[in-house]
A and B are shown apart, each in its own frame.
Chain A
C-alpha cells in the first residue's frame, strides 16, 4: 500500500462496553485526494470519524488504522494530531475564556519542538490567510473559542483551524449540516483552499449538496457499519436521486448473495 495514505483496515469498534457499531470498515484516503463518505443516519460515519481522532469513548475491537503505514491505535488524540490528523467536529465544543488566536498559537507550538515557538509575524500571516479564505473578519480571532457562536460560525471555525494547522489528513464530520447555502459556499471555499498534493481529506456528509462545492475524487457509501460500495462523484448524484434504500437493496443484497 502507498505510504502516503490514511488507511482504515477491517476496523471494528464500539462504544466502550456497548454494541458493535463499525463492523469491518475498509477505506483508503491517499494524500492529494478528497473522498466523500456518505450514508444514512446511524450507519457509523461519525463514529468512524471520532475513532480515527482517538475519542476515548470508543474502543477498537479489531482491525487497524494506519497513518502512512504506521498504526495509530495506541496513540493518544494529541499524538495523532501532531502526526498530521485533523477532525472537523460535527458539534464543536465551547471553551470559555480562551481566544481563538491564543488557542491556535498553542496548537501550532504543540507541533514544534520546545524552544522553537512560532514567530509573531509568521503566526499572524497564517491567521490572516485563513481568515481571508473564509471571508471572515479578523476580529473573530479575538473571540473566545465558540463562545456564543452560531452553528454556522462554529463550522467555519473548524475550517479556519484546519487552514492554520495544515494537517496532512482531515476528516470533516458533517461540516455541512445546519448550514445555509451561503455558509456552505464559504466553508467549501475554505476546504478547497486547503486542497493540494500533500493534503488528504475525508468528507462525511449525509447529502450530496456539499459535493457540488467540494468535488470528491471518490465516494464511499457506508451502511450498517460497513463500506458497501465505492465509486466516482456520479455515485453521489445517483444516491441523491434514488435514495439510501436503493443502495441497501442493490449493494447489501448483492453482498449477501
Chain B
C-alpha cells in the first residue's frame, strides 16, 4: 500500500484495498452505522427504525423474515455452501461521505486507470469511485430531471420514493415478487435498502434512457436493492442499470429484487450489465408482469461474481402481451453463472422470445436454466428460445436446463441450443491479419455476443467490449 500513500493524501481510507485482479478492487469500509453480523429480528427492526419507515413496511419486513426462515435455501442449482449469513452484515448505513473524496484527482491512480480502461462513462466513473463533489454531468442530470418532472416521470431511489410517494409505492410494492416467491426474495424483502423507483405516467414516452447511475450513491448500490418500475398504460421507456464497474463493495452477498409492471400497451425495457467482484454470491429476482398488448424486454449481462443465479421473467397475463430476454453470461475461473429466463404465458396470443449467449473459460461454468410455461387457454401462444454456448477451453463447462410445460394445444414453442468450441482456424486466420492471440479470441467472443450487444446503447456496448477484453487478457500462456 506504500505506493498508494505517495499518490493519495488520505491514504488511510484506502488501507485494505485489495487487488485480486487489476480491475477487481475494493474501497475501504467507512460506514456510519452497521448492524451486527448475521440476520435476526433485531437486525430487521433496526433497519426499519434507522430508515424511519412507516409501520406497514416494518410489518412487511418481519413477515418476510419469517417466510425466509420457514422456506430455507433452494435445494437446486449452484453450490451455495460458501455463503454463510453469520459472516454478513445485513445493513450498513453509509456515512454522508462514504469513501468519498472531493475530486477525481484524489482517486488513486490504479483505480482511475481501471475505470479508464473500462471506458466507463466519466460521470458514472466518478460516482462509482465515490467522488462526492460536483462533476460536470450534474448539469446534464439536472436538465434531464427537469424534463422528467415536466413529463410527470418519477425517478428516485427507492427509500426516497417510499417517503415521497407512499400511496403509489404501497399500491405496487411486492405485488410482482412477493416474499413468498422464493427464499432470496424473502431475504431481500426483510432487509432491502436502496434501488430505483420509476413511474412513467400514461402515454408518456421517455426519449432518453433512465440511467440508474444518475441516482447512484452509497445507498443505492447496496447489497439488497429493491427496484420497482411502473409503466402506466401506453408509456414507453428504457431503464439502464450500468453496474459494469466492479467491486465497489466489500459485501460478499448481493440479493436484489426487481419488479416491473407493464400496464396495457406499454413498452418497457430494462438493461443491465453486471460485473461483481469474484467473491460475490449474486442471487437476484427480476420479474415483470405484462398486461394487455404490452411489451417487456430484459437485457441481462452477467460477468464477475462467484455464483450468479438470475432468471429474468415475464408473466404474460393478458392477451397480446410480449416478453423478451436477451442474456449474456461469462464464466471464468471458479465462477458459476446460472442464468436464464422464465416466460409464463397465461393468456391467448401472448408471445415471447429468449436469446441466451454464454461463454465459459478456464474452470468457469455457465448454465442456462429456462422455463417456458403455457397455461391452458393461452391459445396461440408462441415462444422461441435460443441458447448458444461457447467454450473457450477444454476444462470449461456449460449446461442447459430447459423446462417446457405446455398445456395448450394451439401453442407453438421452439427451442434451439448450440454448443461450440473456439475454432483454431478462426484464431489462426485473425492472427495472420496481425491480431495477437488473445485479441483474436476476444474478437471471436465479441462477435458471438454481438446479437445481444447491438441492442445496447453505444456507450454500454463499448463498456461490454472492454470488459470482455479484460476477461480475455492473459487467456494465452
Contact = CB atoms under 8 A, between A and B. Distances in A.
B21 interface: no
Nearest to B440: A78
B227 to A, nearest CB: 31
B434 A93 contact: no
Interface in B422-470: 423-426, 428-437, 439-440, 443-444, 446-451
A247 B450 CA distance: 51
A161 interface: yes
Contacts of A144: 447, 450
A106 B439 contact: yes
A165 interface: yes
Interface string A93-108: 1011110000100110
Interface in B57-115: none
A82 interface: yes
Contacts of A77: 428, 431-432
A135 B435 CA distance: 28
Please classify the interface of chain A as helix (H, G, I), strand (E, B), loop, or mixed, using the class held by over half of its residues. Answer: mixed
A95 B433 contact: no
A89 B429 contact: yes
Interface stretch (A23-31, A50-58, A212-220): A50-58
Nearest to B452: A97
B436 A78 contact: yes
Please classify the interface of chain B as helix (H, G, I), strand (E, B), loop, or mixed, using the class held by over half of its residues. Answer: helix
A76 interface: yes
Contact of B447 (A53, A54, A95): A95
Contacts of A111: 434
Contacts of B433: 78, 81, 103, 107, 110, 161, 165
Interface in A104-137: 106-107, 110-111
Interface in B284-313: none
A230 to B, nearest CB: 26
A23 B209 CA distance: 65
29 contacts: A53-B428, A54-B432, A76-B431, A77-B431, A78-B432, A78-B434, A78-B437, A78-B440, A82-B434, A89-B432, A92-B429, A93-B425, A95-B429, A95-B443, A95-B444, A96-B448, A97-B448, A97-B449, A98-B443, A98-B446, A98-B450, A103-B430, A106-B435, A110-B435, A111-B434, A144-B447, A145-B447, A161-B433, A165-B434
Interface string B27-71: 000000000000000000000000000000000000000000000
Contacts of A86: 432
Which of A81, A89, A95, A161 gathers the greatest number of chain B CB atoms within 10 Å? A95
Interface residues of A, number: 29
Contacts of A145: 447
Given A97-B447, A97-B450, A98-B446, A53 B436 contact: no
Given A77-B432, A161-B433, 9 more contacts: A78-B432, A78-B433, A82-B434, A85-B432, A87-B432, A89-B432, A93-B423, A95-B426, A95-B429
Contacts of B435: 78, 106-107, 110
A61 to B, nearest CB: 20
B243 to A, nearest CB: 24
A55 B428 contact: yes
Contacts of B436: 78, 110
A78 B446 CA distance: 19
Nearest to B444: A95
B443 A106 contact: yes
Contacts of A106: 435, 439, 443
9 closest A-B pairs (Cβ-Cβ)? A97-B447, A97-B450, A77-B431, A110-B434, A98-B447, A81-B434, A78-B431, A107-B433, A93-B429
A145 B446 CA distance: 13
Contacts of B429: 89, 92-93, 95
A106 B449 CA distance: 18
A107 B443 CA distance: 11
B463 to A, nearest CB: 16
Which of A86, A89, A97, A98 gathers the greatest number of chain B CB atoms within 10 Å? A97
B446 A81 contact: no
Interface in A67-92: 76-78, 80-82, 85-87, 89, 92
Contacts of A55: 428
A52 B444 CA distance: 24
A164 B382 CA distance: 46
A78 B433 CA distance: 7
A81 B447 contact: no
A201 B435 CA distance: 22
A93 B443 contact: no
B330 to A, nearest CB: 15
A107 B430 CA distance: 8
